[in-house]
């Protein structure tokens, strides 16, 4: 097998939510495979920048609040990446938030905020990036789905709706963009040790019940997504379209 299939040498990747957690971990994985990185977050990605540059790759920091971003903002982001790094080959839509409350108390604000960042911004950035990718002859779009793209969850109706939507829009875009040599796929992380899951890990009983269901017997780490992200960003996945790929330690098998 030609292992160069997994090389991202000469590629440029835009990673949203890149300042920490899963976004930082996947950005480092892409950089280690050879990609230059544009990291987008509502705050500066200083630590991610240093780590990417330590790998010998370029890093461009983009501060953008996706909670208020519209189509024009998405287009400006893509234009900035192309202007600063010379192109855009990979879009990794990772940024996301979660809100928890019982159904009778769940607010309209908590519904709208989550859908805006977790779903609307994913579509708008994909739309803007795919215009550029189609003109250049191809590219890769990787969305971050969730176990709640498959399941209902507890206390998180807007997150479940958004992540179910991410799975659907991934398939819809894959159908349209394959003709332009753009692969659109999604990674569905299992229970990962990030800020979003801190309340679950702090709840002794809930933490134990989760661990008992994961065949791997542990929470996932950001580094566990690196190989999958590189695969879906590289030529190795050129015939992979519209897949929602679980990386969950076996959670869905139980």
Give SS3 for 1.
coil
* Predicted TM-score (pTM) of this structure: 0.96
Q: What is the pLDDT of residue 3?
A: 67
What value does the mean pLDDT take over residues 91-119?
A: 98
Helices (H), the chain: 21-32, 46-54, 71-85, 108-115, 121-136, 157-177, 198-202, 204-213, 226-233
Q: What is the pLDDT of residue 58?
A: 98
Q: Could you list the active site residues? A: 159
pLDDT exceeds cutoff 70 at 108 = yes
Whether the pLDDT of residue 220 is over 80: the answer is yes
Q: How does pLDDT run across 144-161, given as a tens digit for each residue?
A: 999 999 999 999 999 999
pLDDT for position 87: 98
Mean of pLDDT values over 234-239: 98
Q: How far apart are CA 160 and CA 242, in angstroms?
A: 19
Nearest residue to 78 via CA among 64, 96, 57: 64
- Average pLDDT estimate for 129-143: 98
Confidence of residue 234 (pLDDT cuts 50, 70, 90): very high
> Which residues does residue 244 pair with via DSSP β-bridges, in sequence order?
186
pLDDT at 48: 98
pLDDT in tens, 22-81: 999 999 999 999 999 999 999 999 999 999 999 999 999 999 999 999 999 999 999 999
Query: What band does 196 get if pLDDT is binned at 50, 70 and 90?
Result: confident
**Three-class SS of residue 155?**
coil
The percent of residues in the chain predicted with pLDDT above 90, rounded, is 96
Per-residue model confidence (pLDDT) at position 1: 63
User: What residue spans define the domains of the chain?
Assistant: 9-253
Q: Which fold has domain 9-253?
A: Rossmann fold (3.40.50)
- Name residues whose C-beta falls within 8 Å of residue 74's C-beta, 6 or more positions apart in sequence: 121, 124, 125, 127, 128
Pairing of strands 139-144, 182-189: parallel
What 3-state class would DSSP assign to 132?
helix
pLDDT band, residue 99 (cuts 50/70/90): very high
pLDDT for residue 152: 97
Which of 63, 67, 156, 193 lies closest to 118, judged by CA? 67
């Amino acid at each position: 097998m030609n292992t160069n299939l997994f090389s991202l040498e000469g590629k440029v990747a835009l990673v949203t939510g890149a300042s920490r957690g899963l976004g930082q971990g996947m950005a480092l994985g892409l950089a280690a495979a050879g990609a230059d990185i544009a990291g987008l977050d509502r705050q500066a990605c200083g630590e991610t920048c240093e780590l990417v540059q330590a790998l010998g790759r370029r890093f461009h920091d983009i501060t953008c609040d996706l909670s208020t971003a519209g189509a024009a903002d998405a287009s400006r982001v893509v234009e900035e990446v192309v202007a600063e790094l010379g192109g855009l080959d990979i879009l990794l839509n990772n940024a996301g938030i979660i809100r928890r409350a019982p159904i009778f108390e769940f607010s309209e604000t908590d519904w709208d905020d989550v859908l805006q960042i977790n779903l609307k911004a994913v579509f708008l950035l994909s739309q803007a990036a795919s215009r550029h990718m189609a003109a250049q002859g191809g590219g890769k779009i990787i969305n971050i789905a969730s176990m709640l793209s498959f399941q209902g969850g507890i206390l998180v109706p807007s997150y479940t709706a958004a992540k179910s939507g991410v799975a659907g829009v991934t398939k819809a875009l894959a159908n349209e963009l394959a003709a332009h040599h753009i692969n659109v796929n999604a990674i569905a992380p299992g229970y990962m040790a990030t800020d979003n899951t801190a309340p679950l890990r702090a709840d002794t009983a809930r933490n134990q019940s989760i661990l008992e269901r994961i065949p791997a017997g542990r929470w996932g780490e950001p580094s566990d997504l690196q190989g999958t992200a590189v695969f879906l960003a590289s030529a190795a996945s050129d015939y992979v379209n519209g897949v929602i790929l679980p990386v969950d330690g076996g959670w869905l098998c139980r």
